[in-house]
Amino acid sequence: MLKDNGIQIGMDGKGSWSDNVFVERLWKSVKYEEVYLHAYDSVCDAQRGLEKYFMFYNQNRPHAALDDKTPKEVLL
């Protein structure tokens, strides 16, 4: 149906690993460094925990792609 309507299914070809590799790595970090370590009592608690984690992830967590520096260290 998609092909019949001229809709391209993938950006880099069928089954290309590069389409979502960055998102998959992010979600692996989120699951193993936050979600699996906390038993949230409510959706509100989960939201607060994830907000806190993403602040840490984006500002203070060392990243291999940044030579194990934090984003703050790279920007300063």
pLDDT, position 13: 58
Alpha-carbon distances, residue 62 vs 14, 16, 36, 58 (angstroms): 33, 28, 20, 9
Hey, how many other C-beta atoms are within 10 angstroms of the C-beta on 65?
Answer: 9
In the chain, the amino acid numbered 50 is: L
Residue for token pair 């030579």: 67
**Domain residue limits, the chain:** 21-75
pTM, two decimal places = 0.68
**Would you state the pLDDT for residue 72?**
85
Over the stretch 6-57, which tens digit does the pLDDT of each residue have? 887 665 655 666 767 788 889 999 999 999 999 999 999 999 999 999 999 9
CA–CA distances in Å: residue 53 to residues 29, 35, 41, 76? 10, 9, 17, 22
